[in-house]
Structure 1
Amino acid sequence: MAEFRRRYGAAPWHLLLLFGCFAVAGWIALRLAGEPTAGRMLLWFLGAVVVHDLVLFPAYALADRVLRTALRRDAAPDAPGRQGGAPVRGGRPSALNYVRVPALAAGLLLLVYLPGVLGLGDGTYSAATGLAPGPLLGRWSALTGLLFAASGALYTLRRLRGGRGGS
């Protein structure tokens, strides 16, 4: 078993799980092969991969780097309760994840509901749901604001609790 792990680089269950994933992906590919819109689906999939890798990933990596740099300036690495810029028990919590999590959630919601938020596909949306897509932009904006407000409140609460010696 140790020899297998050394050669493969992971436990045997990892290989079995990987084979299972390939089997499910192959089954889906076979099911889609008979669809008349399979070519369009493949084109959209490849387009999404290219747009993510060439546009979105560099954009959010840059945004994360800017955020980390700005937060590093706010809290010096030598501040009490910090080691190398990372929060430690009883110290001041880092705001980084309190910005990342709601930004990720808002971005995913925008990605899922983008056509409705932009007002595209009104007829399709109305036919499928019986609702008008008009309020989607306002709802997405309100939910994004709520996510950031809740995250800010949790950050503030954690800072206040951390300042009194608790964590």
Structure 2
Amino acid sequence: MKAGSGFRRRYGDSPPHLLLLLCSFALTGYAGVRLLSGDWFGIVLWFVGAAVLHDLVLLPLYGLADRALRRAVPAPASYVNHVRVPAFVSVLLLLVWFPLIAGTQWRRYERYTGLSADGFWQRWLLITAGLFAASALWLCVRAAVSRARARRRGAG
């Protein structure tokens, strides 16, 4: 019988996992206390609004876009992930940096950082192109490896 198997059976994972989980909760609690020490009502309102917006608006849109993609691309589901992942990362970057990409917060950004805000949308487009190019390259590598394995099985 392995040592610690009773803990794993009761908790479901190893003691280091529990320790890491407790440390992450402590860090999150500390960050929350520091964050909410200022305008706590505005921050709570922003989080609740973001959750409602995500669950009631964005999640159904994700589902519709995914369903449309699977119907439009007659490929195995694992290949569709080569479009899903770069699209997800690109949209996430767009959401995070939207005020600067759209040019609505350039003055504030330049005032606080001392850096120029020019070129955010061009950089976002380049990052998006790079993500899709890397994903396409990875798909080509996967397909080549798959074909090579199939040939070896057929020849063996």
Partner of 1:148: 132
Aligned to 2:103: 119
> Secondary structure in 2 aligned to 1:34?
coil
Bigger proportion of residues as helix: 2
Determine which of 66, 83, 87 is the counterpart of 1:99.
Answer: 83
Any stretches of 5+ residues in structure 2 without a counterpart?
Answer: none
AA of the residue aligned to 2:37: G
**Structure 1 residues 28 and 154 mapped into 2: Cα distance closer, same or farther (>3 Å)?**
closer
| Other-structure match for 1:28 | 31
How far apart are the structure 2 equivalents of 1:15 and 1:146?
A: 38
Q: CA deviation at 1:136?
A: 0.9
Change (3 A) 1:121 1:163: same
Counterpart of 1:24, as a letter, is: L
Deviation at 1:3, TM superposition (A): 6.6
Q: Which has the higher contact order (CA 8 A, sep 6+)?
A: 1
Tell me, in whole angstroms, the C-alpha distance in 2 between the residues paired with 1:58 and 1:97. Answer: 18
Structure 1 unaligned spans of 5+? 76-84, 87-93
Alpha-carbon deviation of 1:10?
A: 5.3
Q: Percent identity?
A: 45
In structure 1, C-alpha distance between the alignment counterparts of 2:137 and 2:18, rounded to whole Å: 43
CA distance in 1, matches of 2:146, 2:21: 43
Query: Judging changes above 3 Å, is the alpha-carbon distance between structure 1 residues 121 and 156 closer, same or farther for their aligned structure 2 residues?
Result: same
What amino acid is aligned across from residue 139 of structure 1 in structure 2?
R
Deviation at 1:117, TM superposition (A): 0.7
Q: Note the aligned Cα RMSD (angstroms).
A: 2.8
TM-score, normalising length: structure 2: 0.73
Contact 2:94 2:101 in 1 (8 A): yes
Length, aligned pairs only: 147
